[in-house]
Chains A and B, each alone.
Chain A
């Protein structure tokens, strides 16, 4: 791994292995994600996506392999990595019994943002997400779509260069999913690297590149257009089904 590569890559993974007892959840994964890229991390349920993303975010120890996030080593520089990433999990991660502003204040405070900055962010998010009607309510009263968009915004409250999204659009309607992806595009346009897992194949089409995981291994990795060509498929869904069936 050259220095040059480290500088232009947001995520570099080499021979990543994660075992749970005899079960191999991640079997020698190797890939790299460019800075500013929207990288789709696809796979069937149980293919090992969440396991991998948790390792990349520093939530779980790898069994072996090298991982560098934003140029920092996953073993030695965990704290530096954490300052440089945002993470939104499948589980809804805001506090239901706090208001929008209180959630933003809490996470902003943890990331060490100044009071002024927190106030700015709060106003910005309420404006941007159209949450004016909900400023007095608790988060549990928000419709799911709003919650998800807010969770994404809170996950990047500290402006990290890399954002990990683990199935961010589970359970929301197509219109909200569309709006959610508009948010993602906006952040990518600002130079953020987006690493997103999903099993909606239409979403895969929005990504710059996608990898498809089957049984703990990456079976394919390319731009959606090229993948469709390679597998002679009309849509990403066909590509996925061909690969997943083996």
Chain B
């Protein structure tokens, strides 16, 4: 037991003396939250639109006017030639084309069905979907106005109207959605890289050999080595939660105690993986590459940026072994929805089992004798 304390004392001394460590511990959380929370957004501020109005009637102008009046659309080009606007779209000057046929006004006068065409730049599929939804909404509004004029509504016929009500994130603020995930990213990266690189560093400078000739117990060494990083990552989680609450005004609906409890298990898992990587690598560069390889895959699959449900089945299957996915899901549920212990018991059990596995695997791989 005393041995562990001597190791922890030594690690903390070295951490404090490392000039890079304090910036890593304090600056990374701030930057990740500030930059990623704003950069990782799917909000569409406005759509650059091109108009082809072959009709030039009162009705067609009224439709165009609706788009002009919307804060989401900027009319950047008008033409009678689809070819010309196609070029504009090719050059990314416009993102969407509204094509109004020449009989638009005539058909409306006749109360006959009429078609307009929307052409959307769908290079970014998710954004295209959003743009399309915005545009359709405006066309629907227009449609309603036309119907009113035709006095079809005077028959007191109720049309079905959907009124959206957004739960858990009523302002549809992307930061609210991103920050719990970014906090997970933060503690995962801090825990994984610091622990992995630290032990490999002892290999590089040769002190690991000196430690291996001592009667130090394997589990003492591992506990002594990992405890300081557990505290640092835990500190960063607190720091990040405080930033989220007081700087970003993200509500923390659920129990902070629950978050801390599960985070403490999750960090054992992460540190176990870090230790495991350090047993595979001989140099810090190798450890860095291995760690990045896993981190990138786990982050992209985790549902941080894109919904897991939209991924192919095989990708969703990989998420069974993706610790980041479990913890992000957990954090979103607890922070945003106020999930209680019973609601997240599946996550807790998975993370706990995973933690036991990762630390056992790492301990088994870590050999004092080669």
Contacts and interface: CB of A to CB of B under 8 A. Distances in A.
Given A79-B215, A93-B207, 12 more contacts: A60-B369, A60-B370, A89-B210, A93-B206, A93-B210, A94-B207, A95-B207, A97-B17, A102-B13, A107-B210, A110-B7, A111-B214
B114 to A, nearest CB: 77
Contact of A110 (B14, B206, B209, B211): B211
B205 interface: yes
B213 A95 contact: no
Contact of B369 (A78, A93, A97): A78
Nearest to A98: B13
Interface in A86-108: 86-87, 89, 91-98, 102, 105-107
- Give the bracket for the number of chain A residues in contact with chain B: 20 to 34
A61 interface: yes
Contacts of A102: 10, 13
Contacts of A58: 212-213, 369
Contacts, number: 75
B3 A82 contact: no
Contacts of A59: 209, 212-213, 368-370
Contact of A82 (B6, B14, B17, B214): B214
Contacts of A92: 205-206
Interface of A: 57-61, 78-79, 82-83, 85-87, 89, 91-98, 102, 105-107, 109-112, 138, 155
Contacts of B215: 79, 82-83, 111
B14 A109 contact: no
A15 to B, nearest CB: 20
A34 B273 CA distance: 46
A86 B210 CA distance: 9
Interface of B: 2-3, 5-7, 9-10, 13-14, 17-18, 205-207, 209-216, 368-370
A57 B369 CA distance: 10
A85 B10 contact: no
Given A87-B213, A91-B206, A93-B210, A112 B370 contact: no
Nearest to A164: B213
Contacts of B6: 105-106, 109-110
Contacts of A95: 10, 14, 207
SS of B interface (majority): helix
A110 B203 CA distance: 18
Contacts of B211: 110
Given A98-B14, A102-B13, A110-B216, A89 B206 contact: yes
A97 B202 CA distance: 12
A79 B368 CA distance: 11
A61 B124 CA distance: 57
21 contacts: A58-B212, A58-B213, A58-B369, A61-B370, A82-B213, A85-B213, A87-B209, A91-B206, A91-B209, A92-B206, A93-B207, A94-B207, A97-B14, A102-B10, A106-B6, A107-B214, A109-B2, A109-B6, A109-B9, A110-B3, A155-B210
B227 to A, nearest CB: 15
Contacts of A85: 213
Nearest to A115: B2
Contacts of A86: 213
Contact of A112 (B2, B18, B206): B2
A61 B369 contact: yes
A27 B9 CA distance: 43
A78 B213 CA distance: 10
Contacts of B216: 110
Contacts of A93: 206-207, 209-210
